[in-house]
Structure 1
Amino acid sequence: MVRARHTAHIPVEVEYPEILRNLANDVLSGEYESGHDGAGLKILDIGANVGFFALWASLRWPGSEIHCYEANPGTFPYLQRNTAANPLIHCTHAAVYPGPERTMKFFSRFPGDGEAGLTAYLYETFNENLAGDVHEVPIVKPADLPKADI
């Protein structure tokens, strides 16, 4: 008898801005493979973007409940559409932040922007004026997140 691990290539249809094509290929090809086996887990996807990881994780760990958080108002509709068929994927339009604020300013250049974030921290990172859109987004506190399996 042989017991071996193989990679199954399963087609996944997703909608995303063209600029994310390479990211789609990387994530859906198993970039986040950890070697951890399990099913029925609770998974947090903070900064879920358009849902590549959530979709991949739902196939990798069957029956798992996945909680996605995405603050970018241009990206969130993609996340909702891409995950709508899976009742175990729950999407929240919010940033996760431990402070007392209920909303904060969020910067993004385009839907799917992987370098988007809360302006308070992007200014520290880039030390310059940001060219793009700034939106007020809701905040979810880490204590309010569902307990995850770690």
Structure 2
Amino acid sequence: MRRGLIGLFAALALLLPMAAIAVQPDEVLDNPVLEQRARAISGNLRCLVCQNQSIDDSDAELARDLRLLVRERLVSGDTDTEVYNFVVARYGEFVLLRPVFAGHTILLWVATPILLGIGLVIVLVAGLHKRKEPEAAAMTAAERKALDGLRKD
């Protein structure tokens, strides 16, 4: 019984990633090479409704429209670059899940490493500063007697 449940959960865990793909059967192209290209492109395009998913993973109507648009462009003979350029021209660079590396997006690419470096420097400086702080002065006899009195209570 227990092995059966473990097997069932293992099978469900294997099928779970498949459930995330929102491509409908009527969208799939007959040509497997074009379909593979369409999946690669739609995996790199942001759903404008969900914004944290690719259009390949989104169930939104706009994502479906974009998936169909990508497939139409591929069937008509466009290269992958031409498809990307068409979609970016229509919806802007925001539609790309990975922004292009250019002068106007340089901050997106360098901000994280710079902020991480600044944070590490702050942590190291704070750690070194804490080590250099003088230890608390030894207690006087009167303070020690008062502390012993508190401990007895």
TM over 0.5: no
The structure with the larger Rg is: 2
Higher strand share: 1
More helix, by proportion = 2
Which one scores higher on RCO, CA 8 angstroms, separation ≥ 6? 1
| TM-score w.r.t. length of structure 1 | 0.23
